[in-house]
Chain A
Amino acid sequence: SQTIHQWPATLVQPVGSPLSLECTVEGTSNPNLYWYRQAAGRGLQLLFYSVGIGQISSEVPQNLSASRPQDRQFILSSKKLLLSDSGFYLCAWSFRARGNQPQHFGDGTRLSIL
């Protein structure tokens, strides 16, 4: 079976500090990978998605970047965090080869910027 790991679970960072959130998937190959941000009372905002190593699509202009150095590893980064980067960040995967399959989510990272 497939599993997705996301860490850390919570993170408190000062404004202007760098960020690195990591997500890995086990039990499948060539997944589609996604980063979302979820604000309180709002839906999931797609930040980035990737269909393969080194292939990143960005959905909104922002202070964040994403990388996919390995097939099942997806990293969300920032060089200098802003207060507005606070939120709940979710990583998800879906089968690439099986068409219209659902996404499966990690347990998220609660990021607080001070």
Chain B
Amino acid sequence: EDQVTQSPEALRLQEGESSSLNCSYTVSGLRGLFWYRQDPGKGPEFLFTLYSAGEEKEKERLKATLTKKESFLHITAPKPEDSATYLCAVKRSGNQFYFGTGTSLTVIP
């Protein structure tokens, strides 16, 4: 069964304290893994796409990496404005995307 699991469910960091979020998946025939940021009461905002193991993408303080079974979203020296829920999703062949339940990140000043 296709499954996407994110951990931890919630994470509290001090401003400047780097950490990583995990997204593990069991999907055959991965066609892409996607990271999103979601602010309260808003729709998810697209961050990154990763297509193959070993691939990395960076944007400001965020860096996403991909292996054959999981992806990490590394947050370097986070700021309070990085507080949000981070979602990952995977796509296999076809038109459907499978989402994890997200990691709620709080960055304390």
Nearest chain A CB to B104 CB, angstrom units: 9
Q: At the interface, yes or no: B41 with Cβ under 8 Å from chain A?
A: yes
Contacts of A44 in B (CB 8 A): 44, 87, 89, 99
Nearest chain A CB to B99 CB, angstrom units: 4
Nearest chain A CB to B17 CB, angstrom units: 24
Name the CB-closest residue of A to B46.
A102
Contact status of A103 and B97, CB under 8 A, knowing A90-B43, A108-B42, A110-B41: yes
Q: At the interface, yes or no: B101 with Cβ under 8 Å from chain A?
A: yes
Contact status of A43 and B99, CB under 8 A, knowing A100-B32, A100-B91, A104-B46: yes
CB of A46 within 8 A of CB of B43, answer no
Taken together as a complex, chains A and B put the C-alpha atoms of A57 and B94 apart, in Å, by: 12
Contact status of A107 and B101, CB under 8 A, knowing A49-B95, A49-B96, A102-B34: no
B residues 75-93 in Cβ contact with A at 8 Å: 87, 89, 91
Q: At the interface, yes or no: A77 with Cβ under 8 Å from chain B?
A: no
Total number of residue pairs linking A and B with CB closer than 8 Å: 54
Residues of A bordering B, CB below 8 Å: 6, 32, 34, 41-44, 46, 49, 51, 57, 59, 90, 92, 99-108, 110
Residues of B bordering A, CB below 8 Å: 4, 31-32, 34, 36, 41-46, 49, 51, 87, 89, 91, 95-97, 99-102
Supply 17 further A-B pairs (C-beta < 8 A) apart from A41-B101, A102-B34, A108-B42.
A6-B43, A34-B97, A43-B99, A43-B100, A43-B102, A44-B87, A46-B96, A46-B97, A49-B96, A51-B95, A90-B43, A100-B49, A100-B91, A101-B32, A102-B46, A105-B45, A110-B41
